[in-house]
A and B are shown apart, each in its own frame.
Chain A
Amino acid sequence: MDVSRGASHAEAAPSTGTTIVACTYKGGVVLGADGRVSIGNYITNRASNKIAPLAEYIFLCRSGSAPDTQIISDNVRHYLDQISAESGEEPTVEMAANLVRLINYNNKDHLVGAMLVVGWDRHGGGQVYGAPIGGTLSKEKWAIDGSGSTYIWGYCDSEFKDDMTREEAEHWVMEAIALAMTRDASSGGVIRLVTLDGRGAHHTYISGDKVPQFVGDLPFPAGASPAPFGAPAAQQQQQQAAEAGMVIG
């Protein structure tokens, strides 16, 4: 994992240090992801798409090593294609989730992929499966993963409700990702959402300027006229504060 934080582009691997969120609602599922890919601290892609289609109504949210998860998604998409060609039926979400999990488990020494398999099928409706690193598989009502997910467990636990409407579920996913983007340096950029309700896959793109912000109007920084370090007087601070203005960046 430390290799991906390397200083130079030549030696470091790209990482989708990420926030991915998915939840079921009354009638379907919503999945979402941020858009940041970084090598060390350089942001190589600020609007990437971390939601990969595995079948018409099954999607994979990718986090961890970017190349590893891309290969896993390509392989599983290929297997599902073959299976549905042979059986004549649409693949189930459970099948897709198990394929992802088997690749993770059988190659656990080499792969670093923490993924969510989310989809809709005729048998089970909307389903969310967590497939973290190592090869676990767990079916959940909602799941989150990626480096940014650590900051939003509390939010997700307290705000999730059973049988939400589509708007409530989309808002829950979007707000969770926005909160994580504020605190996690390796999540950010844009938010992508996909909603599956049995009638189709609805894609939503939320550009950077439309992402909800959680830090209010910034006060003038406390440390700018460094009072803690014992230098300039209060009156200079007031003079500076009077001339300071808020500028929208």
Chain B
Amino acid sequence: MSIFSYNGAAIVAMAGKECVAIGSDLRFGVQLQTITCDTPKVFKVHDKLYLGLSGLQTDAQTLYQKLMFRHNMYKLREERDMKPSTFSNMLSNALYERRFGPYFAAPVVAGLEPDGTPFLSGMDTIGAVETAKDFMITGTSPDSLYGMCESMWRPDMEPDELFETVAQCLMSGSDRDALAGWGAVIHVITKDKVISRTLKTRMD
């Protein structure tokens, strides 16, 4: 049994026209037992930057707390929020610091740069970064999620259409995954607001 499939997760992030959306499932389980269905795996860093973390949930939560500490210190010194690209770099560095005893978490960074351009990046457990202009996924069923995103993504989607696309990819992708699902939450980030919606999905 892999340490990465101990808890289970499905995270999808996509870029649209001057907006990004990121969503995750809500299941929290221990191997095959489901404990709760109100545990999102995407966390807010600031108004224009969200972070999704799959993998071992204890490491995901700890990593998030450490990153918030680093971001808060940055805000105190710089008196501004961190750009998504900078945050992504910092996260990669934080993960590689633990190269030989890593955090078992795979992150996805989604946000809007100060000039409004969407930013998406994803990493493996030791911080190898890949940026993308279309979508980024992570979770216990990557093949299903990739398949859905690859076929449904189109460039320059407006926020509402982007929400629908992320929702369908996330739901169909996690319906074939025994360890992910039980509801979903999706955040759509535009330049003046964030709209968060909870989805009712199959609860099996």
Chains A and B bind each other: yes
Using a CB–CB distance below 8 Å, which chain A residues touch chain B? 2, 5, 7, 17, 36, 38, 40-43, 46, 147, 181-189, 208, 211, 213-215, 217-226, 229-232, 240, 243-249
Mind listing 15 A-B residue pairs with CB under 8 Å? A41-B141, A42-B144, A43-B175, A46-B176, A188-B202, A208-B204, A218-B37, A218-B200, A222-B38, A224-B187, A229-B43, A229-B65, A243-B194, A248-B199, A249-B199
Q: Is the CB of A182 within 8 A of B203?
A: yes
- Docked CA distance A217–B37 (Å): 11
Verify A232–B44 contact, CB threshold 8 A.
yes
Q: Which residues of B contact A (CB under 8 A)?
A: 1-2, 5, 8, 26, 29, 31-34, 37-40, 42-44, 61, 64-65, 68, 140-141, 143-144, 167, 171, 175-179, 182-185, 187, 193-204
Contact yes or no, B38 A218, CB < 8 A:
yes
Per the bound structure, the CA–CA distance linking A246 and B42 in Å amounts to 18
Is A224 in contact with B204, judged by CB distance below 8 angstroms? no
Q: Cβ of A5 and Cβ of B1 under 8 Å apart?
A: yes
Q: Are A218 and B141 within 8 A (Cβ)?
A: no
The secondary-structure label for the interface of chain A is: loop
Identify which of A224, A229, A243 contacts B193 (C-beta below 8 A).
A243
A41: chain B residues within 8 A (beta carbon): 5, 8, 140-141, 177-179
- A230-B32 CB under 8 A given contacts A219-B38, A243-B193, A249-B171: no
A83 to B176, CA, bound (A): 42
B45, closest chain A residue (CB) = A231
A2 to B200, CA, bound (A): 32
Distance A192 CA – B203 CA, assembled complex (angstroms): 17
Structural contact, B39 and A249, CB atoms closer than 8 A: no
Check A208–B140 contact: CB distance below 8 A: no
Complex Cα distance, B47 from A11, in Å, reads 44
User: Is B68 a contact partner of A229 (Cβ separation < 8 A)?
Assistant: yes
Docked-complex contact B32 and A186, CB < 8 angstroms: yes
